Chain A
Amino acid sequence: MYQYNQVDQQLVNERVASFRDQTRRFLAGDLPEDEFLALRLMNGLYVQRHAPMLRVAVPYGMMSSQQMRTLAHVARKWDKGYGHFTTRTNIQFNWPKLEDVPDILEELAKVQMHAIQTSGNCIRNTTTDQFAGIIADEIEDPRPYCEIIRQWSSLHPEFAYLPRKFKIAISGGPTDRAASQVHDIGLHIVKNDAGEVGFEVLVGGGLGRTPVIGKQIRPFLQKKDLLSYLEAIIRVYNLKGRRDNKYKARIKILVNALGIDTFRELVEAEWEQIKDSDLQLTDAEIARVQGFFTPFDYEADAANDTSLEAKLAEDETFAHWFRQNTVEHKVPGYRAVIVSLKAHLVAKGDITHQQMDLVADLADKYSFGEIRSTHNQNLVLADVRKQDLYALWQTLSEANLARANINTLTDMTVCPGGDFCALANAKTLGVADQIDAKFEDLDYLYDLGEIKLNMSGCINACSHHHVGHIGILGVDKKGEDWYQITLGGSDGEDASLGKVIGKAVAADEVADTLEKVLSVFVEQRIEDERFIDCVRRIGLTPFKEKVYAPAH
């Protein structure tokens, strides 16, 4: 993975010092509250229900074992012993004290980590595929471009005060595991007719109050033009995006208001002015950054392993885990392992400091010392020899990190909701527990097949509920928590927005309602059809009829 050079380190160190100074000026009364708010957000610090919340960047989801140990240390020393992985592959700490934050940042900086631009109206962490670099279907590893964008966007002097937050995601190939179509900019690595590799560029996707799927602005962009094109898009947005109403300030609103064709004309005209400037990426720079993401020294004889087959045959529980929680690696003899942060009755995405330390140790032992976080709030050990899977599984199981539920209903993506978040309309954690309790039976879940369930505690959609196969949105009705259910969303290459099935259901009825939804699916399903495909085929009506049938 990328390693800081002296410039990178200096920048992060200086940001720690500048944030320390901002905090000092705020506490001394020299910096107005409102101004500090914008500045602290730009460094990942929210104030939520009980305490400040610090969001630490995990650039494109990559962490070293050493970084993970530092996160564990932060959780122990300054928090209540745990952290929460988010849908943007970052980690949040829910309980730090404001005056401790500069010290936390200093500790993070020692292992090349920071909280720069993890919130605020600026360019956020660029996210990508959790299997980047190891999956057979990708055209090229997207991580070098994520890092190039990270550097370009960090403390960009022109784009620190955009109309609203700005999120970029890159997919390395035709299968989109980065939810790129619901980002402000989505980049797809593609090959053109001449066989050159470049980017398809989408713009104006986003969720929240007004969910929109991104639109293509350019079918093919040369690699060298990556930054100049991004700069052109964001400059147009910075100048023309609405600033009078924060709910209408995202780029998706601008793109829809102008129409994609007019927006494209503006961007292309701006780009014409800067494409041949110093912003053009050099081959040397691309090669330099790519040099940090070269394949590991995989063992050639790893493919000769026979022990895995034997273990799979003799241990059914292990076999389930293998099937659900591991993924084929492009190098024979290796698999990628998904470490489930979706344990039974545990807040989704949460991880304790002991678990962090353990995952770090396991990464060192089995996976070249690297860990990735996913936009579905799990972790990945991407490079595990097949012969090590059994031992790894045993250790993960003991630590409650091996629930064999990946891509099933209980692999839910859930925001912290009303228990933590000051913006929430409803709680989410209790409902997630209710769903866990109701759908504990793994065989039933396996029969249902792939289902993505996403639940947000308010319309901000931090958990992408619009693009869950099943989406649950918490709403407030006269002070009570109610839940609106959508079906048919997807964040993949077939991205679509879910549709609401009807009026919201009461808090204690959510799991029962899902049961009805699933019973319709089971009745109507053709062979091994996926839930999402079934919903697309039969439409919402059968589900509505079942869920809202008068009781008798």
Chain B
Amino acid sequence: MPLLINRELVDNDSWQLVDAEALESNTLPAGDIIVPLAYYQAHEAALNAREGQVAIQVSGDDEIDGVLENPNQFPLIAIFIPALRDGRCFSIARLLKRAGFKGQIRAVGDVSHDRLDFLTRCGFDALDIPADRFSDEVFNAFSEFSVRYQGAEDDSRPVYRQ
């Protein structure tokens, strides 16, 4: 799937999102992996013992207070977006930023053109766009608006403090 990091297409990403089947059978691939938070919590010791880095994927249904306490134990946190209408991802990203998270925040799931700018403003660095929703036009998404009223994670100053 096309991956944008800091608005640029990258093709040398080392992270693998572990699929449900592999999780079920506990046959994790080698290298850097992203696993769901619940799986991480259940297999923390084993995961930390393997080679390669481990990241988590959270979704709106997860209780993330524990993650917010120490987010920098992870180099990357993916936020799963089940559907276009689910806007929890935006708040979760902002909470991670506020908790001082320095790693990469990656959007996975239903990630498409018309939300890329808002995702970026809320602190997402990486946007994993499904292949069928990707075209060169998505790069326009970042320049559709040159002005904005609110502060967000890209710039905390609202218009009246700029």
Contact = CB atoms under 8 A, between A and B. Distances in A.
8 contacts: A7-B159, A25-B113, A25-B137, A151-B159, A154-B149, A157-B119, A277-B151, A279-B158
A35 interface: yes
Interface stretch (B3-11, B12-20, B41-49, B82-90): B82-90
A405 interface: no
Interface residues of A, number: 43
Given A18-B144, A35-B114, A157 B161 contact: no
Interface string A146-160: 000001101111111
B156 A278 contact: yes
Contact of A159 (B90, B147, B157): B90
Chain B contact-residue range equals 35 or more
B88 A238 contact: yes
B161 A282 contact: yes
Contacts of B113: 25, 31
B24 to A, nearest CB: 25
A440 B88 CA distance: 52
A200 B129 CA distance: 44
Interface of B: 60, 84-88, 90-92, 94, 98, 112-115, 117-119, 121-122, 135, 137, 140, 144-152, 156-161
A162 B87 contact: yes
B88 A157 contact: no
Contact of A285 (B92, B112, B135, B160): B160
A1 interface: no
Given A10-B147, A14-B146, A161 B94 contact: no
A158 B91 contact: yes
A375 to B, nearest CB: 25
Contacts of A30: 135, 137
A152 B150 contact: yes
A281 B157 CA distance: 11
A237 to B, nearest CB: 10
B151 A278 contact: yes
A158 B146 contact: no
B138 to A, nearest CB: 11
A159 B112 CA distance: 17
10 nearest A-B residue pairs (beta carbon): A161-B87, A285-B160, A157-B118, A157-B121, A158-B90, A151-B149, A18-B144, A278-B156, A10-B147, A7-B147
A22 interface: yes
A10 B146 contact: yes
Interface string A6-44: 010011001101100110010000110011001100000
A232 to B, nearest CB: 11
B48 to A, nearest CB: 29
A541 interface: no
Nearest to A234: B91
B117 A157 contact: yes
Contacts of A288: 160
B148 A278 contact: no
A278 B158 contact: yes
Contact of B152 (A11, A14, A35, A157): A157
Contacts of B87: 121, 158-163, 238
Contacts of A245: none
Nearest to B140: A21
Given A11-B148, A156-B150, A279-B151, 15 more contacts: A10-B146, A21-B144, A30-B135, A31-B114, A155-B145, A155-B149, A157-B119, A157-B122, A157-B150, A160-B90, A161-B85, A161-B87, A235-B94, A239-B60, A278-B156
B151 to A, nearest CB: 5
B160 A282 contact: yes
A161 B84 contact: yes
Nearest to B135: A30
A243 interface: yes
Given A152-B158, A279-B158, A238 B114 contact: no
Interface of A: 7, 10-11, 14-15, 17-18, 21-22, 25, 30-31, 34-35, 38-39, 121, 151-152, 154-163, 227, 235, 238-239, 243, 273, 277-279, 281-282, 284-285, 288
A235 B91 contact: yes
A167 B122 CA distance: 23
Nearest to B157: A278
Best-surrounded residue of A10, A155, A159 (most CB of chain B within 10 A): A155
B112 A35 contact: yes
Contact of A157 (B90, B112, B146, B147): B90
Contacts of A158: 87, 90-91, 94, 118, 122, 152
B52 to A, nearest CB: 32
A82 B144 CA distance: 33
Contacts of A39: 114
A32 B85 CA distance: 13
Contacts of B88: 238-239, 243
A160 B114 CA distance: 11
Contacts of A282: 160-161
Contacts of B135: 30
A34 B160 CA distance: 36
Contacts of B161: 278, 282
B142 to A, nearest CB: 12
Contact of B145 (A11, A35, A278, A285): A11
A18 to B, nearest CB: 5
Nearest to A161: B87
A238 B91 contact: yes
B159 to A, nearest CB: 6
A108 B105 CA distance: 38
Contacts of B160: 281-282, 284-285, 288
Contacts of A273: 98
Contacts of B156: 277-278
A39 B60 CA distance: 21
Contacts of B158: 152, 227, 278-279
B129 to A, nearest CB: 13
Contacts of B98: 273
Nearest to B87: A161
A7 B160 CA distance: 11
A163 B91 CA distance: 13
